[in-house]
Structure 1
């Protein structure tokens, strides 16, 4: 069996939803140096 044969559509959707929620949480609560315009993790358009 292939590695990808066991992955379902629902699992892919849940993974995308989880990544989206994690990104929103990081943008909301992480320090500006981490996720700001010059951030090292996410380069977001965030202003203090």
Structure 2
């Protein structure tokens, strides 16, 4: 339990922000079949017709 008391709110927010930025970079950098509409890694929504 002492380990949890060493984690600050700022560290949690920084980790969440890093995850969100990494997700957005992956969406922009990877092809749509991997990270995009209908992608197997990150599905951003329905494919456009």
Question: What's the TM-score bracket when you normalise by the shorter of the two chains?
Answer: 0.7 to 0.9
Q: Structure 1 or 2: larger helix share?
A: 1
Which ranges of 4 or more aligned residues in structure 1 deviate by more than 3 Å?
Answer: none
Deviations 1:2-41 (A, max 9, x none): 3311110110010011011001101111111111222111
What is residue 17 of structure 1 aligned with on the other side? 17
TM-score normalised per structure 2: 0.76
State the partner residue of 1:34.
Answer: 34
Aligned pairs, number: 47
Higher relative contact order (CA 8 A, sep 6+): 1
Ranges in structure 1 where 5+ consecutive residues have no aligned partner = none
> Over aligned residue pairs, what C-alpha RMSD do you find?
1.9
TM-score (norm: length of structure 1):
0.77
